Amino acid sequence: MVDSNEVEWVKNQIGRMVPRSINGEELTPYCGPFSAVPRNDRKHGPRLGYIADQTSEVIATLGAAMERVGLKDGMTISFHHHFRNGDMVMNMVLQEIQKMGIRNLTLAPSSTFQCQEDMIIQCIKDGTIAHIEGGSARGEFGRLVSSGKYLDKPMKIRSHGGRVRAVEAGDIKIDVAFVGAPSADELGNLNAINGPSACGTINFAYVDVNFADHVIAITDNLVEYPNFPMSISQEKVDYVVVVDKIGDPSKIASGELRVTNSPTRLKIAKDAVKIADLLGYVIDGMNFQAGAGGISLAFNEYLHKLMKKKGITAGWAQGGTTKFLVDMLKDGTVKKLITGQAFDMVAIENMKNNPNHVDLPIGAYANIHGKGCTVNKLDVVVLGATEVDLDFNANTATMSTGIIAEPVGGHSDTAAGASLTILTVPLFRGRFPVVVKRCTTVVTPGETVDVVVTERGIAINPRRMDLLEALKHAKVPKEMRICTIEELNRMATDITGSKVEPNWGNKIVALIEYRDGTIIDVVRDVVPKYYDDAVYVDKDRE
Amino acid sequence: MKLRRSRLYVPGNNPKMIPPAGLYCSDVISLDLEDSVGPEFKVDARMLVSEALKVIDFGPCTEVTVRINPLSTPWGKWDIEQVVCEKLSGIYIPKVESVEDVIQVDEMVSRMEERKGLERGRIKLFATMETAMGIINAPEIARASKRLEGITIGGEDLTADLGGERSADGLAINTARSLILLAARAAGIQAIDTVYSDFEDEEGLRRETTMIKKMGFDGKACIHPLQIEVIHEVFNPTQEEIRYAVRVTNAIEKARKKGSGVIALGKKMVDRPIALKAERILARARAAELSIPDVEEDV
């Protein structure tokens, strides 16, 4: 484990101390949202394939496929997270790897879910997995990483766009990508819209299959050749393995996502729509992104109502798509939908039939070192956060206790790209203030955050003089209070008391990598003191 | 004019719901000690509410009131003793059936104001009629106290008392609504309607609010913050109404300057009811801080 006393520290542009290097790997401190140029001149290149006169790539067992591609100790394996909490692929693969006795692997998933926690933790403890690259950790897995006891190298936490950049740059060299495929044919043409485990899209795997040395597709739905549409085409796929089940459909898609019931959360959503409108962003042709959290869904719903009232149409919307966005597409309030993930059955079904509802490679969505990404065309994005501080920096990775708990997703990507980035947060959660003096961990730099909407007031980033000017001429309804971020912090701490700093240890357990590959912050281990319940408890040892 | 378009009920024994109650900018907040609090929590609620009144800032847009238990219960008297304080604007008295019910509360409030050294007569009273007896006595009840600024109707209890059924058209209680309105107007005070219980049914709420506004009511109670905006939308005069009212008052002003007794707007005569209505609309618009446009003089 990396001892924080043994590394050389340097202050980055937002004033956070970050290591100059770790285990011989040189790191670049964060230097502004658009300042870092790629370190490598060329993209990382995967191996050439060799197909000769092969007419089928179907292999009887997972173990046999792994042997054929030569999976061995120390390699890097990757997964996509489209089956969400219904995923069976990662567990099945890790189990097979455990059986084969392969060790010291690097796990590089696009994200992980609760259903995989037990397996990942087992594999970390028995040495099958030695390192975690990218994605994020939550639940027990997050607590385990935060304990600093099991992994020698710090985990790297990356945004969606940042992961694509890292794979293309060769920062993550994927040896074998395992791609769960809702439908596949015998040469490995894959898509996600047909089959019992349909999840709408598998676009998080697009970068993996392009840059991994080997690709093993795992399907429960082998169809007649050729499989249309070819979302991932045969030229990328080494082998296809057919299994009984790759996912639990009831958990892949949420049955029906519900708008929050909480009056304060609803007020936050409504005020976010109103402030976007007052600032002149709710106009004909606007492009926006709002996620699938309770507040974001309510934002979608209120925005939908307002747009209909104003008789305007959005150009496109993107992100995790749900019934709420599909409704807007169907009644013409939004012209086009771009899906990052499909969150419910309505979105999945709609992707099958609606030519104006498509998926995109995640690189095209958010990679700063690509040649164009949709986030740059966003007018408005609505995001949450676990904390936001006086510099408007946002934390989406750890709780206020310092424990790694939340997926960072496309937070920093969209914040950097969108013209208007709105953070919708309650002023406090339980006993923790959300608007704090200094974030426990910074994921998204304040320079890319424009407005913070809480139930008790709205703060505009003073860097955005144009927004402050626009508000001077707007008639702000009296139920919306415009104030400074300092006032929000004071209101929060008047209720909860000041934030208590976590009891940090001296191990570096995670590096927060900004989307351009620079280091924006580090996470240390948390020594249980105040919150015994929040740290990882090894049940086997007790 | 004091706007009382919306009145939000907040359960008095819920420490999570009380602090943010002012954020939604209802015209009135009623911290409730009565129907939303079970008998076993009456004392907790009273303590919580009386403390909340002292320490919580409910914001500038809101009149903070408490709905006490009736004096006929073991709790009513103690409710008044504890909640009367500097920050309390008014008390809602439930299940009022007679003039006596209001006078008793009035006297107790006076005693408490004196004992606590508060300004005399500042705390307003509002009486809720929820039984046939209460409705029948409404004309006298409405004149029972100088503190009384409004009377209101309790839909659920009244429906049960009448033996009718709650329905979208309000058939069971519409007569009572009319009687309450008549009593209020005769006494020169406000009339406030009962709650619309299904808070997820925005259209239903809009329909019922539109109806009671047309009847003449000044406001409506709500059980969820989501209902406030709809109620305000219905009660606020529209831009056309405001423009018309401005034109009416302009015409009156013009006639006065000319010394003419006949006031005309275009080809129409402006008579007293039209002038009164215009005044009321403008007063409402000003109280709700709506923008009042300058309108070109009619030629």
Tens digit of each residue's pLDDT (9 = 90 or more) over B42-58: 999 999 999 999 999 99
Question: Considering its fold, how many domains does chain B have in total?
Answer: 2
Top residue of B17, B24, B62 to mutate, by most chain A CBs within 10 Å, is B24
Q: pLDDT at position B118, please?
A: 96
Q: Report the candidate in A336, A293, A319, A287 with the shortest Cα–Cα distance to residue A303.
A: A287
Structural domain contains residue A2: no
Looking at this predicted complex, what is its ipTM? Answer: 0.85
Kindly state the average pLDDT of the residues A494-500: 90
Q: Report the candidate in B93, B91, B97, B92 with the shortest Cα–Cα distance to residue B141.
A: B97
Same domain, B30 and B123: yes
Structural domain contains residue A529: no
DSSP string for residues in A108-135: EES---HHHHHHHHHHHHTTSEEEEBSS
Chain A (12-41) residues lying within 8 Å, Cβ to Cβ, of chain B: none
Structural domain contains residue B194: yes
Specify the CATH number for the domain of residue B75: 3.20.20.60
**Per-chain mean pLDDT for chain A:** 93
Structural domain contains residue B31: yes
Same domain, B213 and B258: no
Same domain, B139 and B186: yes
| Across A238-242, A246-250, A515-519, least confident range | A246-250
State how far the Cα of B170 lies from the Cα of A87, in Å rounded to an integer: 52
Same domain, A365 and A478: yes
Structural domain contains residue A371: yes
Tokens of A497: 């008391």
Are B20 and A264 within 8 A, CB to CB?
A: yes
Structural domain contains residue B297: no
Same domain, B198 and B283: no
Contacts A478 to B, Cβ<8 Å = 25, 60-61, 289
Query: What is the DSSP secondary structure assignment for residue A432, as one 8-state letter?
Result: E
Residue of B nearest to A480 (CA): B23
Same domain, B165 and B270: no
Same domain, A296 and A433: yes
Same domain, B101 and B145: yes
Same domain, B168 and B223: yes
Sign of the alpha-carbon dihedral angle for A425, A431, A437, A438? negative
A63 is in which domain, residue-wise? 56-133+172-252
Higher pLDDT, B260 or A523: A523
Contacts B60 to A, Cβ<8 Å = 478
| pLDDT, tens digit, 9 for 90 and up, residues B143-175 | 999 999 999 999 999 999 999 998 888 899 999
Angle between helices B202-215 and B226-235 (to 10 degrees): 40
Query: What is the DSSP secondary structure assignment for residue A447, as one 8-state letter?
Result: G
Q: pLDDT at position B293, please?
A: 84
Same domain, A339 and A466: yes
Same domain, A363 and A414: yes
pLDDT for residue A533 is more than 80 = no
B215 is in which domain, residue-wise? 6-235
Residue of B nearest to A264 (CA): B20
Contacts A475 to B, Cβ<8 Å = 291
Higher pLDDT, A315 or A48: A315
Same domain, A192 and A245: yes
Structural domain contains residue B296: no
State how far the Cα of A206 lies from the Cα of A200, in Å rounded to an integer: 14
Domain-ending residue, one of A252, A272, A303: A252
State how far the Cα of B226 lies from the Cα of A205, in Å rounded to an integer: 42
Domain-ending residue, one of A252, A273, A297: A252
Same domain, B95 and B151: yes
- Out of A263, A475, A495, name the one closest to residue B225 (CB): A263
Structural domain contains residue A404: yes
Domain-ending residue, one of B218, B235, B252: B235
Domain-ending residue, one of A185, A220, A252: A252
Confidence of residue A406 (pLDDT cuts 50, 70, 90): confident
Q: Is A99 exposed, middle or buried (0-12, 13-18, 19+ CB in 10 A)?
A: exposed
| pLDDT, tens digit, 9 for 90 and up, residues A14-47 | 999 999 999 899 999 999 999 998 988 899 999 8
Structural domain contains residue A119: yes
pLDDT for residue A209 is more than 60 = yes
Q: pLDDT at position B296, please?
A: 66
Q: What are phi and psi of A148, to 5 degrees?
A: 70, 15
SS3 B176: helix
Structural domain contains residue A23: no
Structural domain contains residue B299: no
Q: pLDDT at position A542, please?
A: 37
Q: Is B211 on the interface with A (CB under 8 A)?
A: no
Same domain, B10 and B143: yes
Are B19 and A495 within 8 A, CB to CB?
A: yes
- Order across the sheet with A214-219: list the strands: A58-59, A239-242, A214-219, A176-181, A76-79, A105-109, A129-132
Specify the CATH number for the domain of residue A485: 3.40.1080.10
Give the number of beta-carbon pairs within 8 Å between A and B: 27
Contacts B224 to A, Cβ<8 Å = 263
Query: Hey, which bits of A396-518 come out as E strands?
Result: 420-424, 428-429, 432-433, 435-436, 451-453, 458-460, 482-483, 504-513
Are A479 and B23 within 8 A, CB to CB?
A: yes
Same domain, B10 and B107: yes
Q: What is the 3-state secondary structure (H, E, C) of A364-391?
A: HHHCCCCCCCHHHHCCEEEECCCEEECC
Contacts B55 to A, Cβ<8 Å = none
- Out of B20, B61, B226, name the one closest to residue A479 (CB): B61
Kindly state the average pLDDT of the residues A336-349: 92
Confidence of residue A138 (pLDDT cuts 50, 70, 90): confident
Structural domain contains residue A385: yes
Q: pLDDT at position A540, please?
A: 47
Structural domain contains residue B219: yes
Question: Considering its fold, how many domains does chain A have in total?
Answer: 2
Same domain, A208 and A344: no
State how far the Cα of B37 lies from the Cα of B22, in Å rounded to an integer: 20
CB A178 within 8 A of CB A218: yes
Top residue of A258, A455, A479 to mutate, by most chain B CBs within 10 Å, is A479
Q: Is B224 on the interface with A (CB under 8 A)?
A: yes
CB B75 within 8 A of CB B42: yes
CB B64 within 8 A of CB B58: yes
Same domain, A476 and A440: yes
Same domain, A241 and A340: no
The residue type of B107 is: E
Q: Is A455 on the interface with B (CB under 8 A)?
A: yes
Same domain, B180 and B76: yes
Which positions ≥6 away from B51 have C-beta within 8 Å?
none
Domain-ending residue, one of B235, B253, B277: B235
Same domain, A239 and A287: no
Structural domain contains residue A359: yes
Q: pLDDT at position A136, please?
A: 78
Same domain, A124 and A271: no
Higher pLDDT, A533 or B32: B32
Same domain, A362 and A246: no
Going by their DSSP bridges, the two strands A380-383 and A287-290 should be labelled as parallel
- Out of B23, B226, B229, name the one closest to residue A456 (CB): B23
Same domain, A225 and A269: no
pLDDT for residue A265 is more than 60 = yes
Ranges in chain B, pLDDT < 50: 299
- Out of B23, B61, B291, name the one closest to residue A267 (CB): B23
Q: Is A264 on the interface with B (CB under 8 A)?
A: yes
Kindly state the average pLDDT of the residues A468-493: 94
Q: pLDDT at position B299, please?
A: 44
Contacts A428 to B, Cβ<8 Å = none
Residue with tokens 């609504």: B177
Q: pLDDT at position A252, please?
A: 87
SS3 A10: strand
Same domain, B274 and B174: no
